[in-house]
Amino acid sequence: MLERYAAIATLLLSVLAFLPTNASGEPLRIATNGDYPPFNYLDEKGQLAGFDVDIAHALCAAMDAACALVRVNWEDSIPALLSNRVDAVVASMSITEDRKRLVAFTNRYYRTPMQFVARKGFDRPLTVEGLKGVRVAVSPATTAHAYVTERWRGIVDMVLIPGQDNVNAALLEGKADLILADHLVMWSFVKGRQDVALIGEPILVDEGIGIALRPTDIELLRRFNQALVRIRSDGTYDRINARYFPFSIY
């Protein structure tokens, strides 16, 4: 009988050792933002929803992990991770060299270039001369913010507005002449609208979109990457993709 209990205890310990949790043994805390549709937003019930949210749930299921979604502001995503307030960030975060100095990234789970959007009738060329004095709205601490700062500093009038929904609203309200964000977000914004349009060519500047983790969480990084392979191979990823886009974003 003692041998049987010992065997059961060993089995339970092995299962517990396999389940991904944070350092305190609690569910993995996964940060997302809730203001970047269609990737993460609040639905009509005030619940987090979107492509990022569905991917996070799918990855947790693939890892047999208990997870809890935590809403944080975009600018606080990496600080929350590094201060151990969350364990991962699934918030459409571009994999860039600057961010890789701070956090570890999984393999990409989708890829998107950036794209400008303007109100119908905007006819300025996207050149140094054409963009002089043009008000370009972006969300702070984003790839779009970094791109406009590096490429158009001193040329455009950059307007920083937290939250992509607020950036979009600024364009519609005439508070900005152009906005810049990920192409897929801009595609979703202009879809079905007659007053705004995509402008120029897509701009590819990063390695894709990944899940951010603390650099010390090597085992958790491995498990997330394994889970990404699993949901890609079993059709889960494609089903989630199809809920939001009529084309593959991988």
Provide CB contacts within 8 A for 16, sequence distance 6+.
Answer: none
pLDDT at 5: 37
Residue 22 per-residue DSSP state: -
Q: What is the pLDDT of residue 22?
A: 53
pLDDT tens for each residue of the chain, 250 residues long: 434 334 433 333 333 333 455 555 689 999 999 999 999 999 999 999 999 999 999 999 999 999 999 999 999 999 999 999 999 999 999 999 999 999 999 999 999 999 999 999 999 999 999 999 999 999 999 999 999 999 999 999 999 999 999 999 999 999 999 999 999 999 999 999 999 999 999 999 888 999 999 999 999 999 999 999 999 999 999 999 999 999 999 9
Residues near 167 by Cβ (< 8 Å), separated by ≥ 6? 137, 138, 139, 161, 176, 179, 181
What's the pLDDT at 67?
97
Please state which CATH number belongs to domain 2-111+208-244.
3.40.190.10
Choose which CATH entry (3.40.50.970, 3.40.630.10, 3.40.1030.10, 3.40.190.10) describes domain 114-203: 3.40.190.10
Give me the residue label for tokens 């490429």. 151
For CA atoms 137, 241, 97, 77, give the dihedral sign: positive
CA–CA dist 205, 94 (Å, integer): 9
- Each domain of the chain, given as residue ranges in start order, spans 2-111+208-244, 114-203
DSSP secondary structure, 190-207, as one string: HTT-SSEEEEEEEE--SS
With a CB cutoff of 8 Å and minimum separation 6, the contacts of 146 are 96, 98
Supply the pLDDT for residue 25: 65
Same fold, 2-111+208-244 and 114-203: yes
Instruction: Report pLDDT for 206.
Output: 83
Look at residue 139 in the predicted model and tell me its pLDDT: 97
Q: Cα dist. 146→99, 113, 152 in Å?
A: 12, 14, 10
